[in-house]
Structure 1
């Protein structure tokens, strides 16, 4: 029988939420401090997905100025009702600051989506929308229990009606459920469903790390009481140990296909080289069925697998995308992101047609700023990336090159400045020069080849005449298990004048990213 491979969306695409509209499926994921925000994907078979855009792609929708690493846009939910798509999410402003919840709408999932509709008195994170059969709409979220917390990170799930015409919450808040697992902190990621006249509340417990899990409760009434399944958690991998190839499974959403099958999407990670997760949290697919009114995840196995039987849907592949971006279009391709909302005209596809021009900014990638950086996700354990750069530095402050980025404090930078190429490892906010080679010229070719945790850096003055800058560099600092936070590794192009004013620029002829089998 036909099978599929997990993850269905590889690389840093966590917190998936899914909805079906007739025979079409749409999925969104978290984006944190990266812009545009909330990538949206389309599929017809739940296995083959293509990105069709971003929900938050305008400055008026998303101001990420000053947002720290691993803050920003958390856990979106996508729903469809009466011809309108809704995406509701949390904007985490700072490490300890406000959590603000809002939603946007669109008639076409490719956009344009509306500007944010901010909801007052909406505590917590991971909001979700539910449309009941009587036409009323509700939101759920998490918060500290009104009576107080019994232990650290103790939360409850709450419910309130929302008036979509008046665009505000109405009526009382109802406490629904504090989860199934004793002292299993961080009850979050709530989704509400009505199936066979029962209301089901599915949540995540145990935090988004190794002890992540999915639990579920049900009630005859939307406001409760909710009774948890005796089989909780209905999905977790924490009992499999850290050597299992898929870990920290949780934060799920479910969908019923037009053929009557039920499937779950969830986040998980693929550690390698030890318990290190450079790819971040990815999107996985797992089958489910119903027994005695409760869901059974991957019947007979109960876990997420790297390979499984395909959904009973016609195979619907999308055309493959080129591995190399030659920057010949009038707009950036969808894989490219900025760090925070892009401010100023620091990049151009028009100044020199066929090239991406990055103007040097005073801001650096070692700050919580908007540096002159354009990057894409690392999506494979083994991969190669290369680019051709033309750059004439005018002083020692001006640098340009490529970056492997986990955060402002954990990264590798290959920088070209006057007379030299340098590989810089930044760990815990401290720079260390791992290699420095003399180099003169306007054009330099740069290549990175990665084999699990072995990162290898090369340069050339002429095509394919590669010289090793530094090889077998330990890449584990790019894992969240070293760097902390919630994001995965990005790789991209960078230019900076390191705090000095400059009108200089670097031109990139192409950027190629290819998996290595």
Structure 2
């Protein structure tokens, strides 16, 4: 079954029994989602009960045992009102890296902060002594500076993916493998607008100034075949630069950009803009096939703008082809808020057709700015 996955799990313990509750997202609308619960008496036995489905709508489930005996299921749901469950208190400290409010959210999504918490005599939590949560929270037991490097390189030297990569939907092995220090993707009929079944590998954008680039080679043999890189929010909002057959030229490979542009007014009102860019002739990658085009693709993010571009193996200079406003990386649509933030990654798709050719990606670099 294809679903939106499970999320917001919690584990509880009461009178010798462990409980795990999680939202079962068979839809993306929170007022139509339900939860499932598992229990065990021995958390180390790997002997959990079968899931029991709970018919109370809502997200972020939790259990509350009252002192006089009753047990309450607590879910949050903005559409269901008080009858949908007990209104719950959550301390969400969403980082607001950007100085501008972009559609009531931010392209980096939620981030986690550490903060001291004290409890009042009547049981209410108070974070940071009632003061603002800031970017630089000091703690004598923690390093005063971040050890995150401004340069991150993925060379695919190990047969396993490095930490930080993730899949959209089920990570089926026929769609990807690591071979010869490269990530190899074989596209399916599923496009990036599908909920599952895509050949798509993503990494989280974790800085406002963020440059993602990768070498790739690909030989599209049908007009529907494409492979490239993507700035991803969800199945409705993603912007791509990729290799594809040139229009009306089956023996030539072009770069193509597909972006959502225009001013935001309603929910899903952008104009999709697509442009073909012929590659310089005579380029090939003999490690894949003589006709496979080889190019380095780039996405550069700033707080205001995302740019898509490319560079050639013989020239380190980047040619920027198009740009779009950062507001398209933080959209709202049908309650699907971009809490997780933007991702960047690699993909291949047959766009509804069978695809036997493979796209080869290598030498991924992430540079955190400012540039």
TM range (shorter): 0.7 to 0.9
Please tell me whether residue 364 in structure 1 is matched to residue 364 in structure 2.
Answer: no
* Most deviating of 80-89 and 323-332: 80-89
Q: 1:510 offset after TM fit, Å?
A: 2.6
Please tell me whether residue 424 in structure 1 is matched to residue 258 in structure 2.
Answer: yes
2:222: which partner in 1? 395
8 Å Cα contact 1:420/1:437 also seen in 2: yes
1:275: which partner in 2? 101
Change (3 A) 1:512 1:307: same
Q: How does 1:14-33 map to 2 (within 5 A)?
A: none
Please tell me whether residue 292 in structure 1 is matched to residue 219 in structure 2.
Answer: no
Which ranges of structure 1 fall in alignment gaps of 5 or more residues? 1-62, 145-150, 159-176, 178-186, 191-202, 204-250, 253-265
Q: Deviations over 1:101-160 (max 9, x none)?
A: 23477968xxx9777841244523322256899xx996632389xxxxxx95312686xx
SS at match of 1:502: coil
Please tell me whether residue 345 in structure 1 is matched to residue 179 in structure 2.
Answer: no
- Separation in structure 2 between the aligned mates of residue 155 and residue 480 of structure 1, nearest angstrom: 28
Q: 1:369 offset after TM fit, Å?
A: 3.2
Q: Deviations over 1:387-434 (max 9, x none)?
A: 011211222221110011112221111011132111111464863115
SS at match of 2:230: strand
Q: How does 1:116-265 map to 2 (within 5 A)?
A: 117-124=50-57, 125-129=59-63, 140-142=73-75, 153-155=80-82, 187=87, 190=88, 203=89, 251-252=90-91
8 Å Cα contact 2:215/2:296 also seen in 1: yes
Change (3 A) 1:141 1:81: closer
Please tell me whether residue 336 in structure 1 is matched to residue 162 in structure 2.
Answer: no
- Separation in structure 2 between the aligned mates of residue 121 and residue 501 of structure 1, nearest angstrom: 40
* TM-score normalised by the chain length of structure 1: 0.56
Q: 1:342 offset after TM fit, Å?
A: 2.9
| Aligned pair partner of 1:479 in 330, 343, 356 | 330
2:349: which partner in 1? 496
Change (3 A) 1:309 1:87: farther
* Most deviating of 487-496 and 459-468: 459-468
- Separation in structure 2 between the aligned mates of residue 474 and residue 491 of structure 1, nearest angstrom: 16
Please tell me whether residue 515 in structure 1 is matched to residue 368 in structure 2.
Answer: yes
SS at match of 1:275: coil
- Separation in structure 2 between the aligned mates of residue 297 and residue 75 of structure 1, nearest angstrom: 22
Name the structure, 1 or 2, with higher relative contact order (CA <8 Å, separation 6+). 2
SS at match of 1:308: coil
SS at match of 2:60: coil
Change (3 A) 1:439 1:342: farther
SS at match of 2:101: coil
Q: Deviations over 1:199-250 (max 9, x none)?
A: xxxx2xxxxxxxxxxxxxxxxxxxxxxxxxxxxxxxxxxxxxxxxxxxxxxx
SS at match of 2:220: coil
| Aligned pair partner of 1:91 in 10, 20, 24 | 24
8 Å Cα contact 2:37/2:54 also seen in 1: no
- Separation in structure 2 between the aligned mates of residue 318 and residue 114 of structure 1, nearest angstrom: 40
8 Å Cα contact 2:254/2:276 also seen in 1: no
- Separation in structure 2 between the aligned mates of residue 381 and residue 435 of structure 1, nearest angstrom: 28
- Separation in structure 1 between the aligned mates of residue 239 and residue 228 of structure 2, nearest angstrom: 11
2:134: which partner in 1? 305
* Most deviating of 493-502 and 286-295: 286-295
How many residues in Structure 1 have an aligned counterpart in Structure 2? 335
User: How big is the alpha-carbon RMSD for the aligned residues of Structure 1 and Structure 2?
Assistant: 3.7
- Separation in structure 1 between the aligned mates of residue 137 and residue 333 of structure 2, nearest angstrom: 31
Change (3 A) 1:420 1:500: same
Please tell me whether residue 447 in structure 1 is matched to residue 295 in structure 2.
Answer: no
